Amino acid sequence: MENKLISDSCERFTSRLSSSDAVPGGGGAAALAGALGASLCAMAANLTAGKKKYAEHEEKIQRVIREADALRLSFLELVDLDAQAFLPLSKAYGIDKNDPERGETIRRASLEACVPAGKMLELCGKTTELLQQMFSIGNPMLISDVGCGAELCLAAMNCAAMNVYVNTRDLKGDEEAEKLNMTVKNCLEKYAPAAEKLVREVMKKLEG
């Protein structure tokens, strides 16, 4: 794609998202949600850093800042990578149904279209772990931001999973597709409960 989606303004991006264009779609929205979650984690760390009250955690906080910002950038890259991965699949479905190569072309394109979403799940897991740290060692005044970051990560995880499943649903019995589905399932089982728990803990503290 000549123009990067992520270089758009918020207004332009959401306008394109709401249009009849094939991309951006759910995958791009998921990646953006993940980037927002990582950004909130970095913000909580930046607003805690350098404060005497949290001096004992300064080294950890600085590491969170670096890692969260790297995750933010990785999520943003996935907005465009997801769109790029979808385009070959879109073209594959346009191949003449009498073409003997059509089935295998769609299969390969479907599997390739899953790659960005699979990466998103990994990044969401790492972001959730950083948010857990900020909940424990960060400024309590920022826990709502930490909770919002966890909620965004949870949404990104579920959206990423859906974007894998929608591309593997017609590949029943395919070894590679089944392996992808199992990877998604394992990621959700490993990371989603942690994000859900963090959201509950934040809500409990805020509700008093």
Mean pLDDT computed over every residue of the chain = 93
What letter represents residue 183's amino acid? T
Give the Cα-Cα-Cα angle 45, 47, 50 (nearest 5 degrees). 90
Half-sphere exposure in the Cβ direction for 113 (13 Å, CA): 27
Q: What is the predicted pLDDT for the residue at 208?
A: 76
The answer, yes or no, to whether residue 115 has pLDDT greater than 50, is: yes
What token pair was written down for 162? 């859906």
Where do the DSSP E strands lie in 127-208? none
- Per the CB < 8 A criterion, the answer to whether 108 and 31 are in contact is no
- 59 CB neighbour count, 10 Å cutoff: 9
Summarize pLDDT for 50-107 with one digit per residue, the tens: 999 999 999 999 999 999 999 999 999 999 999 999 888 888 888 988 889 998 999 9
* Close Cβ partners of 105 (under 8 Å, ≥ 6 residues apart): 92, 95
pTM (two decimals): 0.92
pLDDT classification of 1: cutoffs 50, 70, 90: very low
**For residue 23, what pLDDT is reported?**
81
Per-residue pLDDT of 20-66, as tens digits, reads 887 888 999 999 999 999 999 999 999 999 999 999 999 999 999 99
Which whole-number Å values give the CA distances from 25 to 52, 76, 117, in the listed order?
Answer: 44, 14, 12
Residue pair 20/109 in contact by the 8 Å Cβ criterion: no
Identify the CA nearest to 89 among candidates 184, 170, 173. 170
Strand ranges (E), 34-134: none
At residue 87, the pLDDT reads: 87
Counting runs of H as helices and runs of E as strands, what totals does the chain give?
7, 0
Above 80 in pLDDT, residue 2?
A: no
pLDDT in tens, 153-180: 999 999 999 999 999 998 988 999 999 9
